[in-house]
Amino acid sequence: MSTKNDIAKENAESIDKLLSSEEPLTLIGGEQAEEKVILPESLKPLLKQILAEVKKGNEVAVLATDAEMTTQEAADYLKVSRAYLVKAIDRGEIPSRLVGNHRRVKVKEVLLYEQSLNEKKRGRVVTPPVKMRDMSKDMKWLSEHRGEYAGKWVAIYEDRLIVAADTAAEAHEAKERAGFPQTLVTYIEKPLPQGTRRKG
Amino acid sequence: MAYQIVYHHRLAYDVNDEGITLPVIIAANGLTETVTAAIDTGSTLCVFQREVAESLGVTVEDGIEDYVSAMGTIIRVYGHEATLTVGDLALDLFVYFPDYQNIPRNLIGRQGFLQRLRFGLDDYEGIVYLSHHDDP
């Protein structure tokens, strides 16, 4: 169920105040306003959250956490490609079940995955998977030869140029053939015309 | 009032280069590549050249789609899980690759990298100081 609604600011503030109060909330309906239901306290935080989103102009959808989604719906919600989502399912990161030939995922599993994705995006300090060799000679070589190889992809090992190529693919091929560990492959930028400065 | 900050890692860079460029090992898809990348405090994301993704065997368009703005142009990028190693420091994070080749350099931005580190710069001497954000 989803809604896109504009609530006048003053109206939203009154509702917000009401939701923050200690008093129980009562839903009044029917033509004569005769039907009354006292809403459970547990609904207040949810209503507050919905209101906050509506106030921001966002569309709000309410889904049961046990409801199921297709892989396309889940991918759309997570703003990832369907291929990316299917790979996450294949890696066991999102439990799924088969309905015929199609996979279904539970909303709550998608929400959990979203949380872990956001944590991953924030980054995590880890033990280096490889020890980086001393690259000072490579960087010195770059500094000294930048002008000669501007506009080229170069592969360097310490103070040795392995290849200067027009494409990254050529540089990588030469790097693989040379077989040195941690060969540096980089593009050397062309200098800008005199009097201009690079930004961004 | 004077403030003191302690850093545990120190890296030299070439002051004659246009950016603060460091050697970086990027690991993804079970492969590693050694490249250079410029520290860019103005960049939200870590954006690497598409050619780097291709050499790692990463299918760029299978990643998480996002957009970055550079010099008034919007670039579509795709995020992939990777590990970046700079000196003795390594971080698991999302690295984004553009949907076209020939961006001139790799950029180390804030999300996933600088936001996780304490970062000091002595641009006169050409020294970058780094520590984990929660190091004593």
Domain ranges of chain B: 9-132
pLDDT above 90 (res B70):
no
Residue whose C-alpha is closest to residue A138's, from B57, B74, B22, B26: B22
The CA-CA-CA angle for residues B89, B94, B96, to 5°, reads 115
Q: How many domains does chain A have?
A: 3
Three-state SS sequence of chain A: CEECCCCCHHHHHHHHHHHHCCCCCEEEECCCCCEEEECCCCHHHHHHHHHHHHHCCCCEECCCCCCEEEHHHHHHHHCCCHHHHHHHHHCCCCCCEEECCEEEEEHHHHHHHHHHHHHHHHCEEECCCCCCCCCHHHHHHHHHHCCCCCCCEEEEECCEEEEEECCHHHHHHHHHHHCCCCCEEEECCCCCCCCCCCCC
Residue after which a domain boundary falls, among A61, A82, A98: A61
Same domain, A14 and A50: yes
Inter-chain touch B54–A168, beta carbons under 8 Å: yes
Report if residue A42 sits inside a domain. yes
| β B9-12/B64-70 pair status | unpaired
Residue A50's pLDDT is what? 84
- Tokens 């062309």 locate to A190
Q: Which of B18, B34, B85 sits opposite A129 (nearest CB)?
A: B85
More confident residue, A44 or B71: A44
Q: Which chain B residue is nearest to residue A128, measuring alpha carbons?
A: B90
Which residues make Cβ contacts (< 8 Å) with residue B4, sequence separation at least 6? none
With bands split at pLDDT 50, 70 and 90, how would you rate the model's confidence at B39?
very high
Q: Which chain A residue is nearest to residue B30, measuring alpha carbons?
A: A129
Inter-chain touch A185–B71, beta carbons under 8 Å: no
Report if residue A195 sits inside a domain. no
Backbone angles phi, psi at B31, to 5 degrees: -125, 160
Cα A185 to Cα A23, A93, A132, A140, A152: the distances in Å are 67, 33, 14, 14, 11
Q: Which of B17, B55, B64 sits opposite A168 (nearest CB)?
A: B55
Say which CATH architecture domain B9-132 belongs to.
Beta Barrel (2.40)
Same domain, A56 and A75: no
Which residues make Cβ contacts (< 8 Å) with residue A93, sequence separation at least 6? A113, A116
Residue after which a domain boundary falls, among A30, A46, A61: A61
More confident residue, A45 or B90: B90
Same domain, A57 and A9: yes
Q: Which of A84, A128, A168 sits opposite B90 (nearest CB)?
A: A128
Closest CA–CA distance from residue A108 to any residue of chain B (Å) = 20
pLDDT tens digit at each of 200 positions of chain A:
545 455 656 677 777 777 778 888 888 887 777 788 888 888 888 888 888 787 777 888 788 888 999 999 999 888 888 888 998 999 899 999 999 999 999 999 999 999 999 998 999 999 999 999 999 999 999 999 988 999 999 999 999 999 999 999 999 999 999 999 999 999 998 877 777 665 55
Put simply, whether A98 touches B (Cβ < 8 Å) is: no
Closest CA–CA distance from residue B54 to any residue of chain A (Å) = 9
**Predicted ipTM of the assembly:** 0.89
* Residues of chain B above pLDDT 90, percent: 74
Distance CA A130, CA A148 (A): 32
- Tokens 């980089």 locate to A186
Inter-chain touch A124–B14, beta carbons under 8 Å: no
Report if residue A194 sits inside a domain. no
Q: Which chain B residue is nearest to residue A146, measuring alpha carbons?
A: B17
Task: Tell me which amino acid residue A26 is.
Answer: T
With bands split at pLDDT 50, 70 and 90, how would you rate the model's confidence at B46?
very high
Cα B89 to Cα A132, A190, B118, B119: the distances in Å are 9, 30, 12, 12
Distance CA B115, CA A142 (A): 29
Q: Which of A81, A122, A130 sits opposite B62 (nearest CB)?
A: A81
Domain residues for the domain of A53 are: 2-61
Report if residue A50 sits inside a domain. yes
Residue A191's pLDDT is what? 76
Inter-chain touch A189–B104, beta carbons under 8 Å: yes
Residue A110's pLDDT is what? 95
Angle between helices A9-20 and A43-55 (to 10 degrees): 160
Tell me the residues of chain A between 148 and 177 that have a Cβ less than 8 Å away from chain B. 153, 167-169, 172
Where is average pLDDT lowest: A28-37, B14-23, B107-116? A28-37
Report if residue A105 sits inside a domain. yes
Put simply, whether A92 touches B (Cβ < 8 Å) is: no
Tally of CA atoms within 13 A in the half-sphere of B97 that contains its CB = 24
Report if residue A179 sits inside a domain. yes
Q: Which residues of A139-148 are buried (b: 16+ CB within 10 A; e: fewer)?
A: bebbeebbee
Residue-by-residue DSSP string for B43-59: -SSEE--HHHHHHTT--
Residues β-bridged to residue B101: none
Inter-chain touch A172–B105, beta carbons under 8 Å: no
Report if residue A113 sits inside a domain. yes
Residue B136's pLDDT is what? 81
Q: Taking CB atoms and an 8 Å cutoff, what residues of chain A touch B105? A: 187, 189
Count of CB pairs separated by less than 8 Å, A with B: 129
Residue of A187, A188, A196 to mutate for B, most B C-beta atoms under 10 A: A187
Between the two ends of chain A, the Cα-to-Cα distance in Å is 43
Residue A7's pLDDT is what? 60
Q: Taking CB atoms and an 8 Å cutoff, what residues of chain A touch B83? A: 126, 129
